[in-house]
Amino acid sequence: MKWVKQTVGYWCDDTKTGKCTGSGICAAVLDTGISVHPDLQGRIVGFRDFVNGSGDIYDDSGHGTHVAGILAGNGRASEGKYAGMAPEAELLIAKVLDKNGDGDVDKVVRGIEWILSVKEQFRVRIVNISVGTQPELACEQKRRLLNAVEQLWDDGLVVVVSAGNYGPGPGTVAVPGNSRKVITAGVPDMPAGRAGRRKRLNYSGRGPTEECVIKPDVFAPGTGIISCNGRYSLPGEHIYVMKSGTSMATPVVSGAAACLLSKYPDMTNVEVKLKLRESCVKYPGTEAGWGLVNVERLLAV
């Protein structure tokens, strides 16, 4: 996360002093669940399991915990080294994916409906959806998911979704990342030679969409990200783990939005999107959208 924060210009007066690190902001995460990791303890305000119907807080995959750690981990188990973007934010968790990270539209839609029903109770401002449909999914199911996600936006929530990992060809952005309303996060291309790579690393979904919308909107680091390990309590598991994908870039952007809202709590979701667009910086591999998220510019007056 140190490299991630350096890349996105995280360190500025507002974050160094802790004034704008997500305090008072609740982010909902639709994913594989969450483990009660030391970096997340005390800030999980609600949990609902749409896969197995369990009343216990858990993550049998680890994906959701990793995503939540990037967004809001406080780095307690690493003396701050692996703290997330908004370490004071609260988390509302909907488990909509199984232990393999798979799911169906019905479960995701039910999770969205639940978030809509409790958003006032938990003061939800942001919804992170590191979930994307497979290309072969039926069109009517894609439309159903897209409509549900856009309802979150229409109800005033900042919705950040992943571009998917089926890129980089044209039209490869995953649903619901093709929505013209929500904020779609992708991962910059990594040229050959960087980090010792022999080949160009290039997997992030791309537009244009069927409606000719350029996607992703914003880019953030997503390759080789170290965050909370949801399986840390099992033998042989470390408390942190590395994962890659647009799923990891999405909470970087959600966390940046949480920092912004903790400074300007009256901002609407449209204003957050516009501020994000205005503050992005052009960076190699981000030519398809606004550019790379930059927290210092985002939080500037």
Q: Is the whole model's pTM more than 0.85, yes or no?
A: yes
Which amino acids are annotated catalytic?
31, 63, 247
Residue 165 has pLDDT above 80, yes or no: yes
Our measurement of the distance from residue 111's CA atom to the centroid of its chain's CA atoms, rounded to an integer in Å, reads 16
Helix (H, G, I), strand (E, B) or coil at 237: coil
> String of b and e for 73-88 (b: at least 16 CB within 10 Å)?
bbbbbbeeebbbbbbb
- Higher pLDDT among residues 116 and 208, named by residue: 116
pLDDT, tens digit, 9 for 90 and up, residues 244-267: 999 999 999 999 999 999 999 999
Band the pLDDT of 191: cuts 50, 70, 90. Answer: low
